[in-house]
Amino acid sequence: MFRQLGVIGCGLMGGSFALALKRGGLVKRVVGYSKSPSTVDRAKRLGVIDESADSALLAVSGSDIVLISVPVAATEGTLKTIRHGIEPGALVMDVGSTKRDVVDAARRVLKERLVSFVPAHPIAGKEVAGVEHADALLYQNRQVILTPLSQTDPALVQKATDVWAAVGSQVLRMTPENHDTAFAAVSHLPHLLAFAYFNAVMAQPAGREFLSLAGPGFRDFTRIAASEPAVWRDILASNREEVIKQLARLRHALDAFEHVMRSGNQEALEDLIRSASEGRGNWQMNARPGSAR
Amino acid sequence: MFRQLGVIGCGLMGGSFALALKRGGLVKRVVGYSKSPSTVDRAKRLGVIDESADSALLAVSGSDIVLISVPVAATEGTLKTIRHGIEPGALVMDVGSTKRDVVDAARRVLKERLVSFVPAHPIAGKEVAGVEHADALLYQNRQVILTPLSQTDPALVQKATDVWAAVGSQVLRMTPENHDTAFAAVSHLPHLLAFAYFNAVMAQPAGREFLSLAGPGFRDFTRIAASEPAVWRDILASNREEVIKQLARLRHALDAFEHVMRSGNQEALEDLIRSASEGRGNWQMNARPGSAR
């Protein structure tokens, strides 16, 4: 049970975490700060936070658990601002989709408070942003990756593990490097593809007409193309090397398809499709390798 | 009201059409044929068809409405087989996802029976195939494209329009050429991308580990990668010129992303994402251009 949660960035992710802790009876009081005063007002009116703070530092002071849920590029500035307010023994987490940059920023600015920081990435979200979409069940049956530093207090890593487990998440630990490589493959590249694909369709003279004909396959394939531009700009920029590596692999796979289509090799074309189709048919969300399928 | 529906290919599409006609009281009797006898048996046991036929020709004889729902590459052979069984005034449709090849095949083999043929493409489906997934509501609130030939009897085009409307579909007419261009963009390319993307992830040494970390965005983005290999081999092969043109456009859009990521131009990167995000945010399935949104 925590005494006070300080949420910095009262959007979808931060708001959902506050609601989840309240729902589980895991916190007595939630204090929130957002750059935009109207966001904080909405969060308070919706009962997502109990009190609004006038600064990030004030949201942190007196809190024994802090969640930073700002765009990745704003993390370093936020850590700088709150550093002197972090109480001894407090647990400080972020929710960024990239982890190397966050860990580097923390190393640069947190100094003696580095022990408090447990970088976190919950694999959850919606294609709509904002506190009005906050959802106490957003993290239920989702994975959360923690990438603790060697300096992080092990007791706080345990606390972080416990609080995410208490809101229904499955908690994994990885190095920041492995995290960023894996998520370039399974999250960042699909977003890039969905954005680029949507732009490619719209750029055509008959693009609008085409879009009016699209069906349920298109709907699901492009759902992530509606994601928040500022958030995804930061993610793609901060993990660009890994994303570009994954893009090269994708181009290679596209070349293979184009080659068999041009050569008219029906059998090879079917083999390429079958490989994907069987792979996807056997895939299940949240199935750990080695666990029963 | 039809006297007898002949279904050639008792899978998801054909089975769902049979169930939809039965549900709407639009047909007295359904006769089905499939290449595999076990499929026909299952279709009969599930009540999807009333009688099984020993050949495609026998399924057509005595039918005043015929639905050909076989992989696109098998359409020409099927038309050849049934030609002499098509009764005067009978409506014959297919459900193929490509239309130029189907129209060309019909021109080659149907001869004096060409008047009966109304090529159709219902924009509906599931990523699971087979008659056990047939669904009387599969075509409800979906679009159906008809690409009639100049020789097609206008009264039969009207009958086709009426029967699809009666099962809840919105009916549009296009030329086969425009159809194939549009669906290369909004359906065939996304499938190709989903297949290639899934293969690219799996081809990596840590691919399996990566897949275990993937979340709901990945799940929706790759849903169509599980589609039926033989069906999609035929679609990609038969519409390969248009698909390859769309792929070139996509590569161009990917180049634009890679360029701004490499150059570190954050503003241009956000603009590219915003264009897709706003476009997808405004998109609605089945919204005709010019209609209220």
Residue A288's pLDDT is what? 59
Q: Where in chain B is the domain with CATH 3.40.50.720?
A: 2-173
Q: In what order do the strands lie in the sheet with A170-173?
A: A120-122, A143-146, A170-173
Q: What is the DSSP letter of A122?
A: E
Confidence of residue A18 (pLDDT cuts 50, 70, 90): very high
Tokens of A48: 């997502």
Residues of chain A with CATH 1.10.3660.10: 178-282
Whole-number Å distance between alpha carbons of B68 and A230: 48
Q: Which residue of B has its CA nearest to A245?
A: B258
Question: What is the value of ipTM here, to two decimals?
Answer: 0.86
Three-state SS letters, A180-206:
HHHHHHHHHHHHHHHHHHHHHHHCCCC
pLDDT digits (tens, 9 = 90+) for A256-283: 999 999 999 999 999 999 999 999 999 9
Per residue in B172-181, pLDDT (tens digit) is 999 999 999 9
CA distance A243 to B276: 18
Q: Confidence band (pLDDT; 50, 70, 90) for B291?
A: very low
- The answer to whether the beta carbons of residues A67 and A21 sit under 8 Å apart is no
For B224, nearest residue in chain A (alpha carbons): A217
Separation between Cα atoms, residue B66 and residue B78, nearest integer Å:
12
What is the pLDDT, as a whole number, of residue B125?
80
Q: Is the CB of residue B18 less than 8 Å from the CB of residue B32?
A: yes
| B196 lies within 8 A of chain A by CB | yes
Which of B:55-114 have CB within 8 Å of A? none
Give me the sign of the Cα torsion angle B199, B205, B206, B209: positive
Identify the pLDDT of residue B43: 97
The CA distance from B69 to B188, in Å, is 18
- Considering the domain B178-282 in this protein, what is its CATH number? 1.10.3660.10
For residue B163, the surrounding DSSP H or E stretch is helix B154-166
Would the CB atoms of B194 and A221 count as touching at under 8 Å? yes
Q: Give the contacts of B189 (CB within 8 A, at least 6 positions apart).
A: A197, B243, B246, B247, B250
List the structure tokens of A181: 């490589």
pLDDT, position A117: 98
Task: Give me the pLDDT at residue A128, please.
Answer: 78
What value does the mean pLDDT of chain B take? 95
DSSP conformation class of A111: G
Alpha carbon distance B149, A254 (integer Å)? 35
CATH 1.10.1660.10 fits A2-174, yes or no: no
- Smallest CA-to-CA distance from A18 within A4, A34, A39 is with A4
Residues of chain A with CATH 3.40.50.720: 2-174
Q: Are strands A120-122 and A143-146 parallel, antiparallel or unpaired?
A: antiparallel
In chain B, which residue's Cα lies nearest the Cα of A197? B250
pLDDT at B290 over 60: no
Which residues 218-277 of chain A have a CB within 8 Å of chain B?
A: 218-230, 232-233, 236-237, 240, 243-244, 246-247, 249-254, 256-258, 261-262, 264, 266, 269-270, 272-277
The whole-chain average pLDDT of chain A stands at: 95
Q: Which residues of A touch B269 (CB under 8 A)?
A: 233, 236-237
Burial class (CB in 10 A: 0-12, 13-18, 19+), B154: exposed
Class for domain B2-173, per CATH? alpha beta
pLDDT of residue A72: 87
| pLDDT above 80: residue A21 | yes
> pLDDT tens for residues B41-91?
999 999 999 999 999 999 999 999 999 999 888 999 999 999 999 999 999
Which of A215, A273, A279 is nearest residue B285 as measured by Cβ atoms?
Answer: A215
- Is residue A125's pLDDT more than 90? no
Q: Which helix (H) or strand (E) is A99 found in, with range?
A: none
**SS3 of B240-258:** HHHHHHHHHHHHHHHHHHH
* CA B100/CA B239 separation, integer angstroms: 8
